[in-house]
Structure 1
Amino acid sequence: MITTLGQIMLYVEDQKAVAQFWIEKIGFVILAEEQVDNGFYWIEIAPTKEATTSIVLHNKAMIAKMQPELNLATPSLLFDSANLDETYRIFKEKGVTVGDLVTMPGRRVFNFSDNEGNYFAIQEK
């Protein structure tokens, strides 16, 4: 049986630049970074070192070459925030592209994008 979601694979053009975005603008930390002899390289990031789920940044071109049948589209990720207004303000101050704060039935949410134009959402929990 599945007990938790361990990692989310995110396929990007420039792993180091995307990692810097998540670290500097969103506040994530690097959990691991590894280079394998065949040139395969990945960076694992998460909101905190104690997080149970992490994002692993993979090179989109290399993955496409290794596994051409794989869907490399950006997954729809919905993050949680204890203080959505504060998170929204901080993201804007740091130059993150954000959408409008929207009130939906049962929650408030906004979208944001990384430096490669991949869109994600964050909700108040």
Structure 2
Amino acid sequence: MIDKISKITLFVNNQEEAKKFWTEKLNFEVKFEKPMGPDMKWLEVGPSENEFTTFVLYDKNIMKTQNPSANVSHPNVILSTTDIDSAFNQMKENEVEVGELMRMPYGKMFSFKDQDGNDYLLREDK
């Protein structure tokens, strides 16, 4: 019935700052960007052109205006890599705020923060 996870909406304070963070610091690609009126655009980023799942970078304030009861708090997102050490070092070089690289019996992982201070977890999947 459900084949894939399509999109995860990240409510952000500023779409351009979020776009810059994901594309310049984490090497994501803009997968779709289209104006949707004078004050808004639909903006999706993903880790590569071939990756199906994307993050929709959606302006928090616009969502609050459109739907005052919407919950715009940050979702819990776990991302995946096959080379955690390289990802950790590259994020540090890109001045991303990263947590301690944890080596657990079930794998390695670390947390990091985006431009708005939201937490993510990156886990090594081999």
Give me the TM-score of the superposition, normalised by structure 1: 0.95
TM-superposition CA deviations, 1:21-60 (whole Å, max 9, x none):
1111101000111111253312100000111100010110
- Cα distance in 2, alignment partners of residues 25 and 11 from structure 1: 18
Q: How does 1:1-125 map to 2 (within 5 A)?
A: 1-37=1-37, 39-125=39-125
Q: Once superposed, which parts of structure 1, at least 4 consecutive aligned residues long, lie more than 2 Å away?
A: 37-40
Backbone CA RMSD of aligned residues = 1.1
SS for the counterpart of 1:98 is coil
5+ long unaligned stretches in structure 1: none
SS of equivalent to 1:61: helix
Secondary structure of the structure 1 residue equivalent to 2:71: coil
Aligned equivalents of 1:87, 1:67: Cα separation in 2: 37
- How many angstroms does 1:120 deviate by? 0.4
Q: Give the match's secondary structure for 2:23.
A: helix
Mapped partners of 1:49, 1:108: distance in 2: 26
1:105 positional shift? 3.3
Contact 1:11 1:60 in 2 (8 A): yes
How many corresponding residue pairs?
A: 125
* Letter in structure 1 aligned against 2:106: G
- Secondary structure of the 1:85 match is helix
Once the 2 structures are TM-superposed, how far is the Cα of residue 80 of structure 1 from its aligned partner? 0.7
CA contact (8 A) 1:5 1:53 kept: yes
Q: Which runs of 5+ in 2 are unaligned?
A: none
**Residue-by-residue CA offset, 1:73-122 (whole Å, 9 max, x unaligned):** 11111111111001100100110000001122311100001111011010
Identity %: 30
